[in-house]
Structure 1
């Protein structure tokens, strides 16, 4: 059973020391494995793979600051890549984690690679990580994300509940990020739409991402970059660019998977993660 907790910890901001708070769930035992979701999502994106991972690892799934149940960062704390990596490092200290394995999807994949570059983790698994786009590809991805955000803000909750009850409705609500949205439960899709609607960090993170281009090698830790063959947000050719930037990384194709592959093929994604952390 998962142990849920709100973790408060000190961080430095432009206005001096402040306190940040992050919600997380822990389960399993073994070497620590931290899971980082994408923009507008929440820790439950990992639900399809958590039990498989927890059979071998202590799994810590977190709601990134400004998403899910985690409040936004204190005023004066930036959402840029180095700043967020520093916040996560402080969170690891608060949780008593010494260089955990880290897995991230999309925004979370980009953050995981930054943590790897700074040698703060034992291994990195990045699933469709952001930051390897051309400017045109970035604008396209941001248009898709803004569309999801507008839809979540515009649709009344009762309408979302009704739409999510059918397979076609779940496809309409979440087909941009899943290759097989019909596999997601109606309750999960409703919760994801609510998480997107209530994401206080969405605009700040998206704004910080406009200038992001990941150009750092990640050496001295094992790195796997995995891309869904049916990713409609960050196109799979970006994985080839990621391999050029990080030549020591293992590049893995996830057949039939979309941008959030954990739901589309849980067994395959869990195997990729565990292989890297071993």
Structure 2
């Protein structure tokens, strides 16, 4: 199948793959800067944005098949690729297959959770999407306020109050309109485990970037991703949540352009000692507190809107 996409800029082609519930607009914070240097192709994956759903199963495997077909049909095999969240896991899968993509930057990929982290991920995100669907009529009003953005994006951004109102609104409205969201969310949490790639099998540059304050895919999971992809270099975004393109747009652009042009990464990219792992109870309290505050405060905002 073909996919809806936008293409901007000129130069060496660069593919952008969004996360679950997103669209090409998930990249709007860094798209102009990337397009100033590269021929950027940002797609709407099947079942998201303006692309219709896949006819059968929706999983990383079937999405990877669809992206590979898209690249083959557009004579883009071997293109450099950047992914975010679910799209970050997707570009790792494409890199693992070999011959599909070139240099890869994977930003906070999902799929490397274990044990209690799996239901924490699934139920927290499922609750968030239910809340957003319930608030749909009031989303323009809620996202226009600093408080509203802070509450609704507390799990996804380290500095949600800094998000532009239109960026926040676009993302939430796309979440609500995604017919493949629920099935893919379940498959990401409880479906096929992500396979790795033996050392030496990926010859193109591969960087896994991770926000130090990621509350969706906890930072400890970065080391598991690197274990499965030993050819990858791990890059830490300090004071950053799940979406570096939101919290650290300038740094994200710099990382992407340097990795995909074979240059050295910024000085701050040196690996750091692993911090103390987040414990199950602490994680549950953190996510539960976020959802409780979001639900209660959003109700107050909606009531005022009425």
Q: TM-score range by the shorter chain?
A: 0.7 to 0.9
Cα offset, 1:48, TM superposition: 1.2
User: Does residue 134 of the first structure (1) align with residue 117 of the second (2)?
Assistant: no
In structure 2, C-alpha distance between the alignment counterparts of 1:135 and 1:121, rounded to whole Å: 31
Q: Distance in 2 between matches of 1:135 and 1:213?
A: 13
Structure 1 Cα separation of the partners of residues 155 and 259 of structure 2: 27
Mark the structure with the bigger radius of gyration.
2
Aligned length: 256
The answer to whether the 8 A contact 2:68-2:77 is kept is: no
Find out whether 1:271 has 2:250 as its counterpart. no
Deviation at 1:160, TM superposition (A): 1.4
Aligned partner of 1:64 in structure 2 is: 45
Runs of 4+ in structure 1 off by over 3 angstroms are: none
Per-residue deviation, 1:247: 1.4
CA RMSD in angstroms comes to 1.4
> Corresponding residue for 1:193?
172
5 Å-filtered alignment, 1:182-261, equals 182-209=161-188, 210-217=190-197, 219-261=202-244
Q: So what's the TM-score if we normalise by structure 2?
A: 0.80
Secondary structure at the counterpart of residue 199 of structure 1: coil
Q: Is the 8 A contact 2:149 2:161 kept in 1?
A: yes
Shift of 1:82: 2.2
More strand per residue: 1 or 2? 1
| Change in CA separation of 1:175 and 1:243 when aligned onto 2, cut-off 3 Å | same
Structure 1 SS opposite 2:116:
helix
CA offset at residue 96 of structure 1? 2.6
Q: Which residue in the other structure is 2:12 paired with?
A: 31
Q: Supply the distance in 1 between the matched residues of 2:10 and 2:106 (Cα, whole angstroms).
A: 22
Q: CA deviation at 1:182?
A: 1.7
User: Structure 1 length normalisation: TM-score?
Assistant: 0.88
Partners of 1:212 and 1:179 in 2: CA distance: 30
Moved more, 44-53 or 231-240: 44-53
